[in-house]
Structure 1
Amino acid sequence: MDRTPPPVSLAAALALPRTPGRSSEVFVDGDLEVRFAARPTNGPQVPHQRDELYFVASGSGHYRVEETVTAVGPGDVLFCAAHAPHGFEDISEDFSVWVLFYGQQK
């Protein structure tokens, strides 16, 4: 990236065009991809090819990685290694997360 992008507020992220259950691209730079998901899929996701971080922006729910389930809410940071089965469960109507994929595909 040749220049620093402007900040993206939660309100601006919520206004991004999106497909229900899917995340929207915020920006990509090299092997870093920043996305935003309002009401992500409730249940298992297809395991991804890269490591990822989630930052819970709003709402509450449960985050499952393999067999471990953890209650999550605003401000929580979640990690998922590439290829690990994971997903969100019992999410509130206002649940949203920032999603960062990084590194090479594994």
Structure 2
Amino acid sequence: MKRLTISNALESLQEEKNVFKELFKHGSMSVEIYKPDQVDNQKPHTRDELYVVASGTGYFVNGESREKFEAGEVLFVPAGVVHRFENFSQDFSTWVFFYGPEGGEKP
């Protein structure tokens, strides 16, 4: 595995002119970098997901809740739940970790 840093992840993302990129995969886990441009157009995902906010601030909608977030926070989204980032700063970026089975893990 190569070493992942926020710098090399964002550089890789910029080279591809995309808002997200898978950087590493092992078993059911995948690691991505995500940096939306002004609007987050995500749809619900089929697996559980963790975000680790690398930079920036804004609001995170997760199901029925809408909360402020900032760099350094960890945000969990169960599979199938509507979620998105809103009113985020221009420097916003986040690590994304998908894991587990389709449909999410059972509590």
User: Normalising by the residue count of structure 1, what TM-score does the alignment of the two structures yield?
Assistant: 0.87
Structure 1 unpaired stretches of 5+: none
1:61-90 CA deviation, whole Å, 9 max, x = no partner? 110012201111111000000000000000
Q: How far did 1:19 drift?
A: 4.5
Q: What residue ranges of structure 2 are gaps of 5+ in the alignment?
A: none
Moved beyond 4 Å, runs of 4+: none
Q: Over residues 1-48 of structure 1, what are the superposed CA-to-partner deviations in whole Å (9 max), with x where a residue is unaligned?
A: xxxx1321111011013444x311110111001000123673452100
- Structure 1 residues 19, 104: CA separation in 2 closer, same or farther (over 3 Å shift)? farther
Partner of 1:57: 54
Per the alignment, residue 100 of structure 1 pairs with 97
Question: How many residues are treated as equivalent by the alignment?
Answer: 101
More helix per residue: 2
What SS does structure 2 have at the residue aligned with 1:13?
helix
Closer/same/farther in 2, CA of residues 40 and 99 from structure 1, 3 Å limit: farther
2:68 equivalent in structure 1: 71
**Residue of structure 1 equivalent to 2:9:** 13
Name the SS for the 2:61 alignment partner: strand
